[in-house]
Amino acid sequence: MSNRPKTEDAERPARQPIRLTLLPTLAAVLWLPQAGLLAQAISNVADRMSWGATILPAATAAAIGILRVILGALSERAGHQHARARVSALRMTAIMALSERAPLDRRAIPSGEAASMIAEQADSITPWLARFGPARMKAVLVPLAIFLAILPLSWTAALVLLIAMPVIPVFMALIGWQAQAASKAQLVEIGAMNAFLLDRLRGLATIRGLGATDRVATSVRAEAEGLRARSMAVLRIAFLTSAVLELFAALGVAMVAVYVGFHLLGDLNFGAWGDTLSLAQGMFILLLAPAFFEPLRDLSAIWHDKAAGQAAQDNLLRLSRSERTLPEAGLGTTPSASTGPQAASVRVAGLRFRHGDDGGTLPAGLNFTLAAGEHLALTGPSGAGKTTLLALIAGLDLPQAGRIEIDCEALTAETATRLRARMAWIGQSPHIFAGSLAQNVTMGRKEIGPEKVSRALSDMHLGAMARIRGTAPIGEGGNGISGGEALRLALARIAVSPVRLVLADEPTAHLDLETAESVTESLLALAQGRSLIVATHDPRLAARMDRQISLPAPATVEAP
Ligand SMILES: Nc1ncnc2c1ncn2[C@@H]1O[C@H](COP(=O)(O)OP(=O)(O)OP(=O)(O)O)[C@@H](O)[C@H]1O
């Protein structure tokens, strides 16, 4: 069974366990007794009471302070760990969905955008998940507790706080909607910018060749300008929220301080239920007033984390909901190394296929059989469906009608991954990784020893090159070796694998005659004892196969 995290699990609302939200609230509420004891200690000093009467409340306040710090640190750590676990699960689900995405899906999210969503955007989910739940709980409970603690001492101070407070959440809610929309737009812009850059970097040689460097530079500048504008919009909202909050919080605290100060001086003799506040009571109210607004200020700071985090989470979930996935995706199997190369047979009967609702089609009702060990060339004009047919045989998608059998076993959603493990695919420009020749052959497979690697390299006519280069690295994307060498290196990769059917998609396209000839020889060497289907426009390569099937031109194709 696969260990694939389920998309439904990832889509569950991101809630923190209740203890992770309660602990920081408890730490904040403990400020009440701490403030009470501090106020008492200051009042005792002012009343010139004994050191014992001062030190006891002061020491207890310090002990509560230490307890608050410990509780705060513990809860922050636990909250962060919980958030990281959730983000890792979301990332894993998105990566699994990407790995299972059908390569034929032309509507797939571009690679640069997907990389941006999984790498940088996902990081903004952690602060939201770690801090938003506790901050929201604190913003509800702590001001209430402080209000209830101040009310019995002074209704005026409590009233001032009550008037200043509701303005803040109302304003935050109003701005929150805007912040969410602005953050979403910013993330879309970042993703698009990444996709755009990666795409243009990949095509740099073509852009230079066509002399379009200036035009591309202008578009990059325009994209960057768009991103700058979006980022400024988000920052503007962030600064506006904090400015409004700070203003109301400062006004609230200042009004309470003015009232308490004048009341203690005997100028404002009202607001204490007909009584007069003592110094300890006045200090207590003064100490609590800033703490009344603090949770709301924290919540407002995190409000933007929430907007960015939610938008980033939505993006990851969108990535996880791949519309076209590989048949039987998620149930990966590793081909057994002990079986060695054996040839696979293929039977194609009454095949009908269309890419999506509006994509290209295969010639209707295709029928042919490939005997085990046979080498077949698929020819025909461009767009006839050769690559599509190879992709269907590889189980990268399922036909709408008809049947494909590999070794007399029907290729279905249930069997596709297992049957695909017997096959290898080679295209026109296989990907060569930055690393040595040997590393590009083993691809991290520990069971492939050095002798097997050097045999495969010399079978693919790369023996001399391997001796000269040794472990020297090849550049990214095959930089430093020729196109023909890259193809033969990719064939060596297949030669060390227990593959029974090789599917080659125009392996000699764009190669000069001599290189095409050497690639053909290497391909035939690889295909010895294996079955081979090669889609090609190259008559020399086609002539070296046992048999040819020519697909008709697309114009004569009937839709399924
Ligand atoms: N992923 C895709 N989504 C939608 N339509 C596609 C997709 N891939 C190919 N097509 C369409 O399907 C038809 C067959 O394409 P395919 O690439 O299989 O032809 P081909 O014979 O291999 O062409 P060529 O010789 O030029 O490589 C074409 O009309 C093409 O536009």
Residues 414-464 pLDDT 10s: 898 889 889 999 988 888 888 889 999 998 888 888 899 999 999 888 888
Number of structural domains in the chain: 2
**Is residue 1 one of the residues assigned to a domain?**
no
Q: pLDDT tier at 277 (50, 70, 90 boundaries)?
A: confident
The more confident residue out of 331 and 348 is 348
Same domain, 175 and 304: yes
- Return the residue whose CA atom lies nearest to atom 1 of ligand 1: 104
The tens digit of pLDDT for each residue in 497-542 reads 889 999 999 999 888 888 899 899 999 999 999 999 999 999 999 9
CATH number of the domain where residue 419 is located:
3.40.50.300
Q: pLDDT tier at 163 (50, 70, 90 boundaries)?
A: confident
Distance 383 CA to ligand 1 centre (A): 5
Distance 535 CA to ligand 1 centre (A): 12
- C-alpha span between 121 and 526 (Å, rounded): 44
Distance 395 CA to ligand 1 centre (A): 16
Atom of ligand 1 nearest to the CA of 385: 18
Ligand 1 near 363 CB (within 6 A): no
Residue range of the domain that includes 28: 7-320
ipTM comes to 0.94
8 A C-beta contact, residue 176 and residue 307: yes
- Return the residue whose CA atom lies nearest to atom 27 of ligand 1: 382
Atom of ligand 1 nearest to the CA of 390: 18
8 A C-beta contact, residue 459 and residue 496: no
The tens digit of pLDDT for each residue in 24-73 reads 889 999 999 999 999 999 998 888 878 778 889 899 999 999 999 999 89
Ligand 1 near 384 CB (within 6 A): yes
Percent of the chain, pLDDT > 90?
A: 30
Give the global pTM.
Answer: 0.63
**Is the pLDDT reported for residue 337 higher than 50?**
no
pLDDT at residue 408, as a whole number? 92
pLDDT at residue 275, as a whole number? 79
The more confident residue out of 503 and 164 is 503
Helix (H, G, I), strand (E, B) or coil at 321: coil
Distance 211 CA to ligand 1 centre (A): 29
Same domain, 244 and 308: yes
Domain boundary among 290, 320, 350: 320
- Position 327: which residue type? P
**Is residue 331 one of the residues assigned to a domain?**
no
Distance 354 CA to ligand 1 centre (A): 10
Tell whether the torsion through CA atoms of 284, 289, 292 and 297 is positive or negative.
Answer: negative
Ligand 1 near 383 CB (within 6 A): yes
**Is the pLDDT reported for residue 176 higher than 70?**
no
The more confident residue out of 527 and 342 is 527
Q: pLDDT tier at 174 (50, 70, 90 boundaries)?
A: low
271: left (phi over 0), alpha (psi -120 to 50) or beta: left
In whole numbers, what is the pLDDT of the chain averaged over residues? 84
pLDDT at residue 558, as a whole number? 46
CATH number of the domain where residue 250 is located:
1.20.1560.10
Domain boundary among 320, 345, 372: 320
Q: pLDDT tier at 14 (50, 70, 90 boundaries)?
A: low
Site to probe by mutation for ligand 1, drawn from 101, 357, 366, 386 as the one with most ligand atoms within 8 Å of Cβ, is 386
Name residue, tokens 């023909």: 484
